[in-house]
Amino acid sequence: MRALWMTGVLSVLASGCSFISAAGLDECETSADCGSDRVCTPEKLCLPLPVGCGTVYGSQSRDAIPIGGLFPVHSGPAVDAPIDESDEQALNAAVLAVEQINQRSIGGKQFALYFCDTGNDVGRAQRQAEWLVKEKKVPAMITAGSSQTLTVAQSVAIAANVVTMSYSATSPEVTDLPDKNGGQVGFVWRTSASDAIQGSVIANLLRTDARFGAPKRVGIFYVNDPYGQGLFNIVSERLDMAPKVDNEGDSYTRQGDVKAALDTLNQFDPDLTVLVGFASDVTNILTEAATRPNLQRSVHKWLFSDSVKDVAVLANGTASAQAQGFYGTAPAQGTGQAFRAFQSSFKDRFNKDPSAYAYTSNAYDAMYLLALGAAYSQGTSGAVTGPKLAEGLTKVSSATNNPIQLTSSSFTSLAAELAAGRSVNVDGASGALDFNNDTGEAPAPVELWQVVGNNFATIETIPAPKTTP
């Protein structure tokens, strides 16, 4: 490797770089020539890694199976953006899975999880995904959230025959993605259920459950992105069915000013509002709502969606006081041995209870499923590729096999079955993983939880409706 000296200002040559001073760039043939903190661009120059990338969990071996991990650990792209604790714990869950899997390996190979913090920025996530696919040759990526998952899948992964596995994308739009790229098997999968399920449960609760007081006017206050839009549409459509419940939707921009939208909601004067938002915004929403006469606790109730289930909301005294006693919904955690084993291991490893956050068990299952798909690919083709890994995912929920709890103890035998080309039937920490192999998703029950003090108490588990919009 030799230095290439230039003068002036060099335009951006690699995704994720905003400005490069050309005091002395290094030429390269591959990224191995550039060291651990830089990447070799198509122009054969060493430039910094994409913003947010650089940490590798699991094996550091050159022959490790690479998996991309796009997690919005920070709630925004700014340097001082706060931590999104739910997604931080989801990352921890995936790391725990990698550590357990690497204690066993598949075909003598371990896994490397290439972590990139998306900063909840879809443009950054896209650039990071391009780097993971082009430079790290990942056959699969774990993603979070509907907006980032849709962007990464549509703009990068599907065309490259790379599997996208999301642990928290719930938008109904994901179901209908054209993701087969001319093949027989789709490349987009998720361990989180569609909001067609959660939205139907929310509407049914408002119509039939006395705990919600039979509201005559329902507000739906939602983040203006595919996640919020999808859940708003489902809830509103169900409330519009006869007998109609008067409802109104008001949206806000994530990490934007919520005051004007709350003023509109206050004018609507709802008996109850379904709040669809993320922790950093919800803190502001609840604090601001306390100053609006028609949104105060004495005259108004809240029903929270899954993304509100984050203890960071309860760290703010005003927001916590406003939320006390109110209910929320989320995809239910598993109830079998797989969840109990995951919960115990997570507490031992990170000294936190994963049930205090939405989607931790989904992230854990996502990594385990990719490892099982990789075992199938390695065993049946001698290599781990996106198409064969996706094919392997169609083999994990066979109705002709007895269900097996997906734990660290059962992984080796399950991986061996798949490596031999045989199907299995797994139940994960997030519950039964009965995938529809055409859509890449599985139905799931919904948890009803309640804010109690500084935590969330699970009240009951509601089965997925037999029919959804």
Q: Which of 385, 411, 381 is nearest to 396 (CA)?
A: 411
- Over the stretch 203-227, which tens digit does the pLDDT of each residue have? 999 999 999 999 999 999 999 999 9
Which residue, chain included where needed, has tokens 């869950």? 93
Asked if residue 398 lies in contact with residue 376, where contact means CB atoms within 8 angstroms, the answer is: no
Average pLDDT value over all residues in the chain:
91
What pLDDT, on a 0 to 100 scale, did the predictor assign at position 24?
57
CA 384, 389, 395, 397 torsion: positive or negative? positive
- Across 62-74, average pLDDT: 97
Structure tokens belonging to residue 189? 């999968």
The count of residues in the chain is 469
Give percent of the chain with pLDDT exceeding 90: 83
**pLDDT bracket for residue 17 (50, 70, 90):** very low
- Over the stretch 276-298, which tens digit does the pLDDT of each residue have? 999 889 999 999 999 999 999 99
Residues 6+ apart with CB under 8 A from 386: 139, 140, 160, 161, 162, 163, 187
- Of residues 433 and 30, the one with the higher pLDDT is 433
DSSP bridge pairs for 1: none
Taking the alpha carbons at both ends of the chain, their separation in whole angstroms is: 59
What pLDDT, on a 0 to 100 scale, did the predictor assign at position 1?
38
Edge-to-edge strand list for the sheet holding 426-428: 404-405, 426-428, 431-432
What pLDDT, on a 0 to 100 scale, did the predictor assign at position 177?
95
What pLDDT, on a 0 to 100 scale, did the predictor assign at position 42?
66
Maximum separation of any 2 CA atoms in the chain, in Å: 74
Return d(Cα 208, Cα 201) in angstroms, integer: 10
Q: Which of 15, 23, 19, 9 is nearest to 39 (CA)?
A: 15
Specify the amino acid at residue 301: K
What pLDDT, on a 0 to 100 scale, did the predictor assign at position 295?
97
Q: Is the pLDDT of residue 420 over 80?
A: yes
Q: Is the pLDDT of residue 41 over 80?
A: no
- Over the stretch 340-351, which tens digit does the pLDDT of each residue have? 999 999 999 999
**pLDDT bracket for residue 268 (50, 70, 90):** very high
Q: Which of 261, 256, 253 is nearest to 289 (CA)?
A: 261
Q: Is the pLDDT of residue 5 over 50?
A: no
> Beta-carbon neighbour count of residue 454 at 10 Å?
10
Q: Which of 103, 129, 126 is nearest to 115 (CA)?
A: 129
CA 185, 187, 193, 197 torsion: positive or negative? negative
What pLDDT, on a 0 to 100 scale, did the predictor assign at position 11?
36
- SS in 3 state form for 54-89? EEEEECCCCCCEEEEEEECCECCCCCCCCECHHHHH
pTM of the predicted model as reported, rounded to 2 decimal places: 0.87
Q: Is the pLDDT of residue 467 over 90?
A: no
> Beta-carbon neighbour count of residue 103 at 10 Å?
11
Return d(Cα 285, Cα 290) in angstroms, integer: 9
Return d(Cα 354, Cα 71) in angstroms, integer: 17
Q: Is the pLDDT of residue 262 over 50?
A: yes
